[in-house]
Chain A
Amino acid sequence: EVQLVESGGGLVQPGGSLRLSCAASGFTFSTYWMHWVRQAPEKGLVWVSRIYSDGSKTTYADSVKGRFTISRDNAKNTLYLQMNSLRAEDTAVYYCGRDPDYGGYSFFEDWGQGTLVTVSS
């Protein structure tokens, strides 16, 4: 059974940093693209970042570029999101998502339960 378990969320002051983790199990982690998607309270889904299966390429939404860094440790089956210079508008539930890139089609086949990040003084 595929499992994705996020952790690391919490309350942080504006300008602060946080590192989210997503522990993966039940599949060969090193063969899948992975993503972070966030959802502000009572709002819709927003894609944040993507990383290739081997970590060789990363892509970011403009709203987080230069502040967030996605990475992965395939030996530990873990995805990360380092978030710096946090702003109030980064407050959201952050989900990790597994992407099989099946036949050239990218989609979020499995999701974690999410971890809440609150940026407030």
Chain B
Amino acid sequence: DTGVSQDPRHKITKRGQNVTFRCDPISEHNRLYWYRQTLGQGPEFLTYFQNEAQLEKSRLLSDRFSAERPKGSFSTLEIQRTEQGDSAMYLCASSLTNYNEQFFGPGTRLTVL
């Protein structure tokens, strides 16, 4: 296990298409987070899971966004009807409960044309 992995690393799509990203956390980590980072900004929190339960969602996460972690292991983030404003780096992180250090993946860069 070499850390948090994300797939794909890059995604180019046309406006209106749906996209799905995958995150595989560090195997023993029960918390999984999604962040979004746009140019010139720091990462912004989107949502997080404790095992398979989604515990918090940011107001940034519109109805077009949905995240799942069905078996408490990997997670998917889906964006429906993509818009140009969705273009960003999507970061995944994982951690152990009660240990606040989060380990980040390499990110998925989304470009919406």
Q: Specify whether A and B are partners.
A: no
Point out residues on B near A: beta carbons under 8 Å: none
Point out residues on A near B: beta carbons under 8 Å: none
